């Protein structure tokens, strides 16, 4: 999976070239790199680097599509998760977060890291409150998924 990190990092650089963060005007690519670098796990790292590529390049001359990622050698499991991390232009932010709740722990972990980084440079207000609510919902979902996995493990010994 480390090879995926090496493939996706330069794609993120190109995808976010010329973009800046809204609130502090730093190069945008720093954000996905901070998200990716917050993980030791190569899968989460790669997803952190790529989490905004599809959404932020939609309709531009640098558009990153699932087909493009596949041709670049990104595995299907990573592409599926990148699609999941992409908010559709037709869904509300709340619907997007609720969709992530039902995906998997990997996607939830990456979105939580994304939210933490997004909140790190925001002033108090409605946007930060929205992100806090999203993080709370995802953290609760993460805990329920972990508890369910533990229940399955405990019950498996009785199914033998």
Q: What is the pLDDT of residues 97-134, one digit of tens each?
A: 999 998 999 999 999 999 999 999 888 999 999 999 99
The count of domains in the chain is 1
Q: What is the pLDDT of residues 17-36, one digit of tens each?
A: 999 998 788 999 999 999 99
Q: How many CB atoms lie within 10 A of CB 105?
A: 13
The CATH number linked to 48 is: 1.10.3210.10
Place 91 in a pLDDT band, splitting at 50, 70 and 90: very high
Residue 122: the pLDDT is 86
pTM of the model: 0.93
Domain of 42 in residue numbering reads as: 2-156
């Amino acid at each position: 999976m480390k090879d995926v990190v090496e493939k996706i990092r330069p794609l993120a650089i190109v995808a976010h070239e010329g973009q800046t963060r809204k609130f502090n005007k730093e190069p945008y690519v720093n954000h996905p790199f901070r998200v990716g670098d917050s993980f030791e796990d190569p899968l989460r790292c790669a997803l952190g680097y790529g989490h905004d590529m599809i959404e932020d390049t939609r309709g531009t001359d640098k558009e990153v599509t699932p087909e493009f990622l596949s041709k670049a050698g990104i595995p299907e499991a990573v592409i599926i998760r990148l699609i999941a991390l992409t908010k559709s232009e037709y869904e509300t932010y709340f619907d997007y977060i609720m969709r992530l709740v039902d995906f998997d722990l990997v996607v939830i972990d990456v979105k939580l890291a994304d939210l933490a980084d997004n909140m790190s440079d925001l002033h108090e207000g409605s946007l930060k409150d929205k992100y806090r609510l999203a993080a709370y919902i995802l953290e609760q979902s993460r805990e329920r998924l972990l508890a369910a996995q533990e229940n399955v493990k405990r019950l498996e010994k009785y199914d033998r």
